[in-house]
Each structure stands twice: as C-alpha cells, then as structure tokens.
C-alpha cells in the first residue's frame, strides 16, 4: 500500500485527498473551512458517501485533528491506509524551487521568505505544512510548487524590460502559475494522442476563475501567460489580466486611489465581474444570451484575449500538435471553446460542433478529422499530480 495525503491549504480552509497510488484511486476527500470563525464547517467524502459537521475550529492544527476524527468516524482507516507521505501545494517557489522538494526547516524559511511574491498564498500554504507536520510527524512532507513547471522558461520569456539591477534586487520576473495543472494536462494530452511527450507541441488553456495559457514544447513550459503574480495574462473571473501599467498611474492621479485600492480593483473587481457585473462565467453567458450588452461585450473581450494568446503561442512553438482546454470553464463551456478558436483555420484548427457540444466529461477530442491540430478537452487533476510528484520524491 502506498497512500499519499494531498493538502491544499488556504488562510481559513484546507482541502485534502487520500490517494492510493498503486491504483491512483481517491480513497477519501474533504474540506475544512471557516477556520477561525465562530463556527467552522467540515465535509468528508468516501466511496460510501459524505458526512458534514459544523463546529468551532480555532486554527489549522485543530482543523487537522478534526480531519483525523472524520477518518476515524467515517473511514477509510488510516491504520489500514497509512499515508507514506503528505504532499502540499505551495503557490510560489520563486527561483529557488524547480521541482517537488522534501520539506525541511530551511525549505520552510524559504517559503516564508517568498511570501512577498504571493502574500495571499505562501503564508497559508505554510500554515498547512506546520499543522500537517504536527498531525503526521513520522512521514516525509513534500512541497509541490505551482511555479516549478515554468522553471524551464528561457530568459527571453521570463525577463521584463525594466532596469536589470532593480529587477534582480526585488526578484521581478515572470514565474508563471498553475504549473501542476499544465504539467498534468500536457502529459495526458500526449498520452491521449499516442505521441511521445518529447515530440509534442501543445497549448494548454487552464480556464477557471483564475485562468492561464501555457505553451508546452516536448514536455517543457516555454511560455505562460501569468507573470510575477497570477494577475497577468488572460481575462479572468475578477482579475484584469494584461493591462497598460500607466492605467494605474492615471487612476491614482485622477481618483486618489491608493496602491492597495488599485491592487483590490485589479485582483477582485475586474475581469468579467468588472466588465459585466457577473463574477461567474455561467451567469455572464446567460445574461449575454438574454441580450445584455455589457455581458456580450465582456464575453467578446474574454474570447479576443484567448485567441490572441493561442496565436502568439503557436508562433513560439513553431509547430502545433494540440490545443487543450481544462479546468472549470475550459472543461464545461462549449461556447468558450468554440469562440476562442473561431477563425483560426489559418492554423489548421477546425472544431467539430457536435463533439464540442457533447455532454461527455472525460478526456475527449473535439476537433474534426480534417483538423491539422487536435483540439482536446482533458479534465485536470492537480491533486493526483501533486501525489505523483510526492511519491517520486520519496
């Protein structure tokens, strides 16, 4: 038996999965949320069903004890399926972590030091690691970094054209995110197509509330849309994506908004929410279909940006074997898939309307037989990718 416990920790919650790696079966999954509130909430799911509980949860350490209680009460037994390691999602590894890494005191110091690059994520990830180490003190803990897959970017791809010394002093460069998803999906795409990974050119479009594009050449990331932070790139649920930086200077001078105000605007009040008033893609599309002009305009902007990245990344790759849609929006929204690639016949891309509209949910081909580029939908599985990398490290 070789079970891996995967933990994805936020500032007031954490998700977990217990995965049996010989079969890659999810034995249990769960959520512990509203940590620190008057009343917390937990949900524990197994093949037998789900159980939920409301109770005060003081901190992450108590949250892990609640999780252990859920395993004892609802199974599976951790005595019968003892985790051989705990894998942790960590958002930012900076230039220091290029692969999954066993957690040591020095690694934790480095994760904390990188918190200024991901202030909403790294401290929360570290809280989860500390609490998990108390709950599972006798097994290795492994940090799997969102940025690690993009460590193969060339200097031309990761360098911003600002003062070199200033950039080096303050660690300003493109890092990229969603790395576990892009790695998992690009490898799954090559396998689906029956191509060797080291001879496959793929564009992965990870489209959820957060969204990013990645050009993957022979299994390696060569370009990606998110930058020093997850704000750059595609239009997202509440994030602006690409923006002329002078817009910030202009707004500051004209409105007096502080840098914190502008940070909140671009990260939480922009994207499709800022354009349409709808923070959920489904609501925006429904409104657009009902004739709402703002929602239609937001949809047009969203698709225009996507198409722009597909074209640019095709140029970087030089040859394109597949375009892959993944994550919540990418996996479940035929209109977005069709709209993003509409008019790209110049690249040899042809979507089959019937295949694209299919309610099927597994990995699938949605391009025509005549399409020179395969268009795929492949569900992402970041937890399984974290578990695989964790097992490989130990």
- Alpha-carbon distance of 218 to 192, in angstroms, equals 15
Residue 37 annotated to the active site: no
User: In Å, how far are 85, 94, 101, 116, 259 from 171, measured between CA atoms?
Assistant: 32, 8, 21, 10, 19
Please count the residues of the chain.
Answer: 394
CB 375 within 8 A of CB 323: yes
The helix/strand/coil state of 73 is helix
The DSSP bridge pattern shows strands 322-326 and 201-207 to be parallel
CB 12 within 8 A of CB 36: yes
Residue 24's region, left for phi above 0, alpha for psi from -120 to 50, else beta, is: left
Among residues 337, 332, 267, 268, which one has the least CA distance to residue 302? 337
- Alpha-carbon distance of 16 to 18, in angstroms, equals 7
CB 36 within 8 A of CB 59: yes
CB 302 within 8 A of CB 342: no
Q: Per the residue annotation, which of 130, 146, 260, 261 is the catalytic one?
A: 146
* Count of beta carbons in the 10 Å neighbourhood of residue 359: 6
Residues assigned a catalytic role: 146
């Amino acid at each position: 038996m070789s079970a891996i416990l995967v933990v994805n920790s936020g500032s007031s919650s954490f998700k977990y999965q217990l995965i049996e790696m010989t079969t890659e079966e999810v034995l249990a999954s769960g959520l512990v949320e509203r940590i620190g509130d008057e009343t917390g909430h937990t949900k524990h799911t197994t093949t037998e069903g789900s159980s939920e509980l409301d109770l005060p949860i003081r901190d992450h350490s108590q949250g892990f004890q609640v999780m252990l209680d859920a395993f004892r009460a609802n199974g599976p037994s951790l005595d019968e399926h003892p985790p051989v390691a705990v894998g942790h999602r960590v958002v930012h590894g900076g230039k220091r972590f290029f692969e999954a890494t066993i957690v040591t005191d020095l690694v934790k110091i480095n994760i904390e030091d990188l918190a200024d690059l991901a202030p909403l994520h790294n401290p929360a990830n570290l809280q989860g690691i500390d609490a998990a180490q108390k709950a599972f003190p006798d097994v290795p803990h492994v940090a799997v970094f969102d940025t690690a897959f993009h460590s193969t970017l060339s200097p031309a791809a990761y360098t911003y054209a600002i003062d070199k010394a200033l950039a080096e002093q303050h660690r300003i460069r493109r890092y990229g995110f969603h790395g576990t998803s892009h790695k998992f999906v690009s490898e799954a795409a090559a396998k689906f197509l029956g191509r060797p990974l080291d001879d496959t050119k793929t564009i992965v479009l990870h489209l959820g509330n957060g969204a990013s594009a990645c050009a993957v050449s022979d299994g390696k990331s060569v370009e990606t849309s998110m930058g020093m932070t997850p704000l750059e790139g595609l239009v997202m649920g509440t994030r602006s994506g690409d923006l002329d930086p002078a817009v910030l200077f202009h707004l500051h001078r004209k409105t007096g908004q502080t840098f914190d105000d502008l940070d909140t605007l671009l990260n939480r009040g922009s994207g499709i929410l800022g354009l349409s008033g709808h923070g959920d893609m489904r609501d925006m599309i429904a409104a657009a279909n009902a004739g709402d002009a703002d929602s239609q305009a937001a949809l047009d902007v969203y698709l225009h940006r996507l198409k722009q990245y597909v074209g640019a990344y095709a140029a970087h790759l030089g040859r394109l074997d597949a375009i892959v849609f993944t994550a919540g929006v990418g996996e479940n929204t035929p209109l977005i898939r069709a709209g993003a690639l509409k008019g790209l016949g110049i690249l040899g891309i042809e979507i089959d309307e019937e295949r694209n509209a299919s309610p099927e949910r597994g990995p699938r081909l949605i391009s025509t037989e005549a399409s020179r580029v395969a268009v795929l939908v492949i569900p992402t599985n970041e937890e399984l990718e974290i578990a695989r990398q964790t097992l490989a490290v130990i």
